[in-house]
Structures are given as C-alpha cells and as structure tokens.
Amino acid sequence: MNKQVAIGILSFAIISVVVVGFYFSKGFSQSQEATPSKTVVVEVQPTNTEVPNQVIPSSNVPPQPASAYKDGTYVVSGLYTAPSGPEDMSVSVILKSGKIESTDITPKATDKKSLRYQQVFSESYKSLVIGKSLDEVKLDAISGASLTTIGFNDAIDKIKVQAKG
C-alpha cells in the first residue's frame, strides 16, 4: 500500500470519528423537550402463514410440579417407646401425584393403655394428613396420644425413603 492511500484512509477515519462524535454530542446535549419526536411506522409482513403448534391446557389448573415421591401404596410399622416399653402400629398410605390420597392405621400395641391411644389416634388423624404431601406431614399430639404421633411420624419418615423417586 502506498503512502498516499494510507494517509487517505487515516484521514477518512479521523473525519468519520469527529462527525459521529459531533452528531452524538449534539443529540445528547439537548434536552428531550427541545428535540422533536418522530414516529416511524413499520409494517411487517409475515413470510410464513403457518400457525406454529401450540400446547393448549385442558383446564385453567396450572401444571403440578413433579413429585419427589412415587405414586403407590406403602405399608410400614411406626415405632415408638411407651412407658410400658416399645410399641408399634401399622401405617398404610396411598400416594397419588405426591399427595396422601388415603391412609389407615392398624393398632398393634401390646399394652392396653397404648392400644387405646392408638385407637383414639386412628379415629382422628386423617383430616390432618389427607391431601397433603409427605413433606408437609409432621403431627403433634392428637387427643392426648403424643407417643402415638411419634410412631406415626416414624412411619411417614420410612415411607418417604421408600417412595423416593
């Protein structure tokens, strides 16, 4: 490349930078109120008239997140220690979509007092767990059956392990 061409290119570049800089400095130094606004309307014509595939939900219910637990029926023994010694009860849970759909308890206590507490518990706990996810269920004393709830919570913890997806 000869010297004259190089000087010409360099001069053009310098002039371009000065002009662009002047243009931007004028545009930014004036206030918005003093600058007249122009509306430009651009009409876009589609080139493809096909409608893309769409997923249309069948109802207005938002999709449920995937459950961490597999659907199914789980039966385990819930263990706890009563003043009379170790006790257990059979806990059955049906999981559907990650929620407890149904549950039953079969009392198995050997001590008469513990057996009565398990029976009272089994008659009153369902409304506290049906429709809830396993992670939401952690019961306190129900109708004075505080140790029985420990056995129930133990069973729920075992079901969580078995049902892990």
Residue 30 within any structural domain of the chain: yes
16 and 82, same domain (yes or no): no
Residues 78 and 152 grouped into a single domain: yes
pLDDT of residue 67: 73
Residues 80 and 159 in one domain: yes
Residue type, 138: K
Q: What domain range is 118 assigned to?
A: 72-163
* Shared-domain flag, residues 83 and 156: yes
d(CA 49, CA 134): 49
The Cα 67–Cα 78 span in angstroms is: 23
Number of domains in the chain: 2
Percent of the residues in the chain that have a pLDDT greater than 90, as a whole number? 53
We report the CATH number of the domain holding residue 118 as 3.90.1010.10
Task: Print burial letters for 43-59: b (CB count within 10 Å at least 16), e (below 16).
Answer: eeeeeeeeeeeeeeeee
What is the pLDDT, as a whole number, of residue 93?
A: 97
pLDDT in tens, 137-164: 999 878 778 899 999 999 999 999 999 9
The verdict on 30 and 76 lying in the same domain is no
Find the helix or strand (DSSP H, E) in which 107 lies.
strand 99-107
Q: Give this prediction's pTM.
A: 0.60
